[in-house]
């Protein structure tokens, strides 16, 4: 049997700017190997890219007896499960502990602790930011870390973003660029501040954060606006650090050590006196120091903990004390490969087909979809009745999906208010990855079951609602997280998928299952094709016939459309004429008198006609 101490433990720290991996003998605090690689944030990296990232590291590191990983973007147990599974594919049968990068930073800070303190709080400010602490009882607390759109106070991104806004503000007030604006314009590689508009729309979080050193440089050269930006942004992060400390010490008397980590703090030592004065104004007995070791050493500690746990080859996770970890969300099993993932024999030579023949093939494949959907009319009719009942009782029809499925759900929901004059809340679409995912890929969003559940809870789903999960494979974690939350709230649930091989337990099966077999795609696995066509058709039928049953249609006319533009006002005019047989000017007068409400205009004209 090999002595574990003759081999290395490996600690990997993955952040928004870079990855650092250390190999060390067990118990040693000098590295056998140290390598750097590109950034890796779990929420922004696909499974395949993450696996490739680790495989690249593996070729440059010694064989490990245990692995510890601290990674940005790890928030939930689902995240940990996903990360562990990826590690297991690269390093099979190796014990591993994983958590977010703040845990590894805190472990690294503890290695060099020389102060006897009751509470230790890490202030991390790099591309993003967060505060994380632990007290002597092992209780932890976290503040911040909500990402650059909702938080990341005092981060490189926040400072750069605030600097850009301040530069534009100065330009508008004075008509000229100040030193801050000139520095930022040059660093962003642009010649005209007008170009910032387009640049900000396409720039990544990391690219924006890279401008933060220019804000610090402007402040160091006497620019008062840059100084104010930094003071304000750092103040927001220091406030979070004090909130974190207060959660771990309700008395306000405990001795707290604040440890500064991340590139923003470590590369700007001249701001340390300011930071100390702000923190000690509230916590006079506090100790403030910079993180002396790379936080990757904290990941080494996690690896040593995994090895010491005696778990052998089992993949494990470090469970942060004081934080409840939800169990994995159950999903149906698939007894076979989803047809959408199989190769279509008709398109095996797609790359060599003449364009006209390829067009005929795609049209032929799509032409089969309506007939296939028709075989599910009984289940679809039941879903329509459930949606009607939900809306009549004050509930909602909610679509939930990822990728193409989610986008089509959002599209169908967004068309209901103009077509049927429905309140926006009647039919809602929820997309994994949020609004950004509507126009660009948000890697990993579909794998986050916790986010799916949270999305439903934020909308206060209840027993009055119907929630339709849309997933081509039928097994998307985000969708099943949302369906689980809907079931817990007593809502009726449905699944629209294109995998007839799903096996449900009785407690897991939704009220309605539409498992439609459209067969293999022309382009293998591209479910935006036939599966996407089928999804659009099913949602068209569902929302349209639900609104028909709710009285939003007379004959085959939209009697409750919202005439918000010239085209729709012309349509409204034609509908009123068609239903009442009046002259155009009479129809227009009635519509104007009813505030362009078609149904009201028709009723008014019919009442006048009945009294003649």
Tell me what the mean pLDDT of segment 398-404 comes to. 94
pLDDT confidence band for 114 (50 / 70 / 90): low
Comparing C-alpha atoms, which of 178, 212, 204, 213 is closest to residue 193?
Answer: 178
Give, in order, the Cα–Cα distances in Å from 226 to each of 166, 407, 448: 8, 41, 38
Say if 319 falls within a structural domain.
Answer: no
pLDDT of residue 372: 96
Residue that the structure tokens 């089992």 belong to? 314
Compute CA 101 distance to the chain's CA centroid, rounded to the nearest angstrom: 18
pLDDT one-digit tens code per residue, 211-237: 999 999 999 999 999 999 999 999 999
The residue with greater pLDDT, 152 or 411, is: 411
Asked if 202 and 261 sit in the same domain, the reply is: yes
Asked if 205 and 219 sit in the same domain, the reply is: yes
The Cα 72–Cα 14 span in angstroms is 6
Asked if 513 and 364 sit in the same domain, the reply is: yes
The Cα 439–Cα 13 span in angstroms is 31
Q: Identify the DSSP state of 41.
A: B
Last residue of a domain, one of 499, 523, 549: 549
Q: Where are the alpha helices (DSSP H) in 249-354?
A: 263-266, 272-282, 296-308
The residue with greater pLDDT, 104 or 556, is: 556
The residue with greater pLDDT, 61 or 317, is: 61
Asked if 425 and 463 sit in the same domain, the reply is: yes
Environment class of 398 (CB within 10 Å of its CB; exposed 0-12, middle 13-18, buried 19+): buried
The residue with greater pLDDT, 170 or 329, is: 170
Size of the chain, expressed as the number of residues it contains:
612
CATH code of the domain containing 156: 3.30.420.40
In the chain, the number of structural domains is: 4
Asked if 105 and 231 sit in the same domain, the reply is: no
pLDDT of residue 316: 39
**Which pairing describes strands 64-71 and 333-334: parallel, antiparallel, or unpaired?**
unpaired
Highest mean pLDDT among 29-43, 72-86, 465-479: 465-479
pLDDT of residue 3: 47
Say if 525 falls within a structural domain.
Answer: yes
pLDDT of residue 287: 87
- The crossing angle, in degrees rounded to 10, of helices 156-174 and 179-187 is 120
Q: Cα-flanking dihedrals φ and ψ of residue 550, to 5°? A: -90, 5
pLDDT confidence band for 324 (50 / 70 / 90): very low
- Concatenating the DSSP letter of every residue in 479-545 gives HHHHHHHHHHTT-EEEEEES-TTEE--TTT--SEEEE----S-SSTT-TTTHHHHHHHHHHHHHHHH
Which member of 107, 365, 388, 446 is catalytic?
446
Q: Cα-flanking dihedrals φ and ψ of residue 125, to 5°? A: -135, 105
Whether the pLDDT of residue 387 is over 80: the answer is yes
Clarify whether 166 is annotated catalytic.
no
Query: 40 is written with which tokens?
Result: 């890796």
pLDDT one-digit tens code per residue, 260-302: 887 787 788 888 889 889 998 998 888 888 887 888 888 898 8
Asked if 528 and 598 sit in the same domain, the reply is: no
Whether the pLDDT of residue 395 is over 60: the answer is yes
Which member of 276, 311, 341, 415 is catalytic?
415
Say if 346 falls within a structural domain.
Answer: yes
Whether the pLDDT of residue 310 is over 60: the answer is no
The Cα 547–Cα 562 span in angstroms is 14
Asked if 213 and 136 sit in the same domain, the reply is: yes
pLDDT confidence band for 81 (50 / 70 / 90): confident
Work out the percent of the chain whose per-residue pLDDT is above 70.
94
pLDDT confidence band for 125 (50 / 70 / 90): confident
Query: 474 is written with which tokens?
Result: 């039928």
Asked if 91 and 144 sit in the same domain, the reply is: no
Tell me what the mean pLDDT of segment 475-496 comes to. 94
Say if 555 falls within a structural domain.
Answer: no
For the full predicted model, state whether its pTM sits above 0.85: no
**Which pairing describes strands 119-125 and 129-135: parallel, antiparallel, or unpaired?**
antiparallel
Tell me what the mean pLDDT of segment 508-516 comes to. 96
Asked if 421 and 488 sit in the same domain, the reply is: yes
Clarify whether 446 is annotated catalytic.
yes
Asked if 132 and 172 sit in the same domain, the reply is: yes
CATH code of the domain containing 381: 3.40.50.10490
Say if 342 falls within a structural domain.
Answer: yes
The residue with greater pLDDT, 111 or 591, is: 591
Asked if 198 and 74 sit in the same domain, the reply is: no
pLDDT of residue 253: 81
Which region among 39-43, 147-151, 294-298, 586-590 has the lowest average model confidence (pLDDT)? 147-151
Say if 32 falls within a structural domain.
Answer: yes
Environment class of 595 (CB within 10 Å of its CB; exposed 0-12, middle 13-18, buried 19+): exposed
Whether the pLDDT of residue 195 is over 60: the answer is yes
Asked if 542 and 566 sit in the same domain, the reply is: no
Say if 325 falls within a structural domain.
Answer: no
Say if 313 falls within a structural domain.
Answer: no
Domain of 524, in residue numbers: 333-549
Comparing C-alpha atoms, which of 469, 440, 464, 462 is closest to residue 538?
Answer: 469
Last residue of a domain, one of 520, 549, 578: 549
Whether the pLDDT of residue 576 is over 80: the answer is yes
């Amino acid at each position: 049997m090999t002595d574990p101490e003759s081999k290395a433990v490996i600690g990997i720290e993955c952040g928004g700017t870079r990855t650092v991996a250390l190999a060390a003998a067990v118990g040693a605090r000098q590295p056998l190997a140290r390598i750097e690689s590109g950034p890796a944030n779990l929420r922004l990296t696909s499974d395949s890219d993450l696996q490739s990232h680790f495989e690249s590291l593996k070729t440059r590191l010694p064989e490990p007896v245990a692995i510890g990983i601290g990674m940005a973007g790890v928030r939930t147990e689902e995240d940990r499960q996903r990360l562990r599974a990826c590690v297991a594919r690269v390093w099979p049968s190796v014990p591993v502990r994983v958590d977010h990068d703040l845990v590894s930073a805190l472990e690294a800070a503890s290695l060099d602790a020389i102060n006897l303190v009751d509470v230790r709080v890490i202030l991390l400010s790099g591309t993003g930011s967060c505060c994380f602490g632990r007290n002597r009882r092992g209780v932890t607390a976290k503040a911040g870390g909500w990402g650059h759109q909702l938080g990341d106070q005092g981060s490189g991104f926040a400072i750069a973003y605030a600097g850009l806004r301040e530069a534009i503000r100065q330009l508008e007030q004075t008509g000229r660029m100040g030193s801050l604006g000139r520095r930022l314009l040059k660093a962003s590689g642009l010649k005209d501040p007008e170009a910032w508009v387009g640049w900000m729309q396409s720039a990544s979080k990391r690219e924006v954060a890279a401008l933060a050193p220019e804000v610090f440089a402007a402040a160091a050269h006497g620019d008062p606006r840059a100084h104010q930006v930094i003071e304000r942004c750092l103040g927001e992060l220091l406030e979070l650090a004090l909130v974190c400390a207060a959660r771990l010490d309700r008395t306000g008397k405990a001795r707290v050590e604040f440890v500064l980590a991340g590139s923003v703090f470590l590369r700007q030592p001249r701001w340390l006196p300011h930071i100390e004065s702000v923190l000690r104004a509230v916590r006079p007995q506090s100790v403030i120091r910079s993180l002396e070791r790379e936080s990757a050493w904290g990941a080494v500690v996690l690896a040593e903990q995994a090895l010491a746990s005696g778990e052998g080859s089992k993949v494990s996770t470090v469970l942060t004390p004081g934080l409840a970890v939800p169990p994995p969300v159950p999903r149906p099993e698939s007894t076979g490969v989803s047809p959408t993932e199989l190769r279509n024999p008709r398109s095996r030579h797609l790359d060599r087909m003449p364009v006209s023949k390829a067009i005929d093939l795609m049209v032929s494949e799509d032409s089969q979809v309506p007939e296939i959907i028709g075989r599910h009319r009984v289940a679809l009719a039941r879903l329509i009745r459930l949606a009607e009942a939900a809306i009549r009782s004050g509930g909602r029809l909610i679509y939930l999906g990822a990728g193409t499925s989610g986008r089509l759900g959002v599209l169908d929901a967004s068309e209901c208010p103009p077509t049927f004059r429905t309140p926006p809340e009647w039919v809602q679409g929820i997309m994994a990855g949020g609004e950004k995912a509507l126009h660009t890929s948000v890697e990993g969003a579909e794998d986050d079951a916790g986010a799916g559940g949270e999305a439903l809870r934020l909308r206060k789903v209840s027993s009055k609602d119907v929630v339709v999960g849309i997933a081509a494979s039928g097994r998307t974690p985000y969708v099943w997280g949302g369906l689980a939350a809907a079931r817990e709230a007593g809502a009726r649930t449905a699944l629209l998928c294109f995998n007839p091989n799903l096996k449900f337990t009785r407690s897991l099966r939704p009220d309605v299952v539409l498992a439609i077999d459209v067969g293999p795609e022309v382009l293998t696995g591209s479910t935006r094709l036939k599966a996407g066509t089928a999804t659009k058709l099913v949602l068209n039928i569902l929302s349209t016939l639900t609104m028909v049953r709710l009285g939003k249609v007379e004959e085959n006319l939209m009697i409750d459309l919202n005439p918000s533009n010239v085209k729709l006002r012309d349509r409204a005019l034609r509908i009123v004429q068609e239903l009442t047989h009046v002259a155009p000017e009479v129809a227009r007068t009635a519509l104007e008198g009813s505030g362009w409400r078609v149904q009201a205009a028709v009723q008014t004209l019919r009442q006048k006609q009945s009294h003649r």
